[in-house]
Chain A
Amino acid sequence: MALRLWASSTANVLKLSSAACRTHHLPSPFSLSRCFSTVLDGLKYANSHEWVKHEGSVATIGITDHAQDHLGEVVFVDLPEPGGSVKQGGSFGAVESVKATSDVNSPISGEIIEVNASLKETPGLINSSPYEGGWMIKVKPNSPAELDSLLGPKEYTKFCQEEDAAH
């Protein structure tokens, strides 16, 4: 219980300073045996470590800080063309790091209206700015109810802790 409260207050602190802060720059009171990755309020999360930001009729999608940290340095990003569609849980692209290509899945269904062209020249944006400059696709959601099936920030934080503790 105490750990969960501590983690959620940490997440709130991180929200205030997330624009400037990277996990390895957190002051020592926040570094346990395992550093917590940044989890932002106002986003929804999939248990495959993608985030979605729903603003009006547009949803922006990317991978989380936890995901980029576990991937290592991203050297290549494979993205679809605008105009295609995505299904909740379906793969829409991939990232390559340390000689591993990892599929990226969409948290929601809809039509792809924009992809982040900067990632072609600067794939490392996914590492340095996973929630801002490293966004991957923008989608027009066709089933807004799907957002309810996703994890909130607190649930996602807990999910990451449990996953990391598994080994």
Chain B
Amino acid sequence: MGMRVLRSLEVLKLGVVNYLDALKLQEKLVLDRKSHRIWDTLLSLQHPPTYTVGKRQTVHNLLIPQSELEQIGAELHYTQRGGDITFHGPHQAILYPIISLRDMGIGARSYVEKMELTMIEMAAQYGVKACPGQAGETGVWLGERKIGAIGVRISNGITSHGLAFNIDPDLTYFRHIIPCGIADKEVTSLRRETHSIFPPEEIIQEQLISCFARIFDYDNLIWKEDASVVIDGTE
């Protein structure tokens, strides 16, 4: 066996974070990772009700007028990630890995496959058998029902944005969009697909983080919970 460098992942558990704050944090971390000031970093969080579109700006897949978003308590944001329109909200577990694909020796396709596997393994822990999407339908599915979504940005080989796994979000918010631009498909959640008793949501999020670390082969996890330290840039 050759020498293997220990792979470290810094995990930041952030709780519920406003979309733009999370975006600003990711932009800072991408620059830090690019200049080797930090290791591979994983953000674990949830968002308040938020619709987002990707680089293709497919806002035509939003089915209600933007003026009505405030009434339903949601925001809309334009991003540089891949993928179509989606919804983020409470009780949906989000992971934003800020990692160097170049150091890992993998490309976009392999990265996204591993992100799908992360969510598939997560669902399996509750007896839910999910699959990766067919060609052109990246994500995690149970038949025609989507339980996990992916939208990623890769800049100089560093990732941002990531995955969203539906633990038990309010699925009615998905009625106001054609999710990921794919009509005639439903959105579902772990709560909908199993009668299993759930532990506290924080535990489920930690399980998701562990699935990620296992699939991406990290040896060493460094857990951090004080988000303000990172957001202020005083670290």
* Residues of B192-212 contacting chain A, CB below 8 A: none
A55 at the interface (CB under 8 A from B): no
* Residues of B62-95 contacting chain A, CB below 8 A: 80-83
Are B152 and A100 in contact, CB atoms less than 8 angstroms apart? Answer: yes
A25 at the interface (CB under 8 A from B): no
Are A99 and B83 in contact, CB atoms less than 8 angstroms apart? Answer: yes
Contact of B157 among A48, A75, A101 (CB under 8 A): A48
What are the residues of chain B within 8 A of A165 when measuring CB–CB? 105
Contact of A72 among B55, B81, B83, B108 (CB under 8 A): B108
State in angstroms the CA–CA spacing of A98 and B137 once bound together.
8
What are the residues of chain A within 8 A of B112 when measuring CB–CB? 72, 98-100
Are A70 and B155 in contact, CB atoms less than 8 angstroms apart? Answer: no
Q: How many residues of chain B have a CB within 8 Å of chain A?
A: 31
Given the interface pairs A73-B135, A76-B55, the reply to whether A97 lies near B105 with Cβ below 8 Å is no
Quick one: closest B residue to A67, CB to CB?
A: B107
Are A166 and B108 in contact, CB atoms less than 8 angstroms apart? Answer: no
Size category of the A interface is 20 to 34
A78 at the interface (CB under 8 A from B): yes
Contact of B111 among A100, A101, A103, A163 (CB under 8 A): A100
State in angstroms the CA–CA spacing of A166 and B157 once bound together.
14
What are the residues of chain A within 8 A of B109 when measuring CB–CB? 70-72, 97-98
What are the residues of chain B within 8 A of A96 when measuring CB–CB? 54-56, 82
Are A73 and B136 in contact, CB atoms less than 8 angstroms apart? Answer: yes
Are B155 and A103 in contact, CB atoms less than 8 angstroms apart? Answer: yes
Are A167 and B108 in contact, CB atoms less than 8 angstroms apart? Answer: no
Contact of B55 among A98, A101, A164 (CB under 8 A): A101
Quick one: closest B residue to A164, CB to CB?
A: B105
Quick one: closest B residue to A66, CB to CB?
A: B107
Are A48 and B106 in contact, CB atoms less than 8 angstroms apart? Answer: no
22 contacts between A and B (CB under 8 A): A70-B106, A70-B110, A73-B135, A76-B55, A91-B156, A96-B54, A97-B82, A98-B138, A99-B82, A99-B83, A100-B81, A100-B151, A101-B54, A101-B55, A101-B82, A101-B152, A101-B153, A101-B154, A102-B154, A103-B155, A166-B104, A166-B105
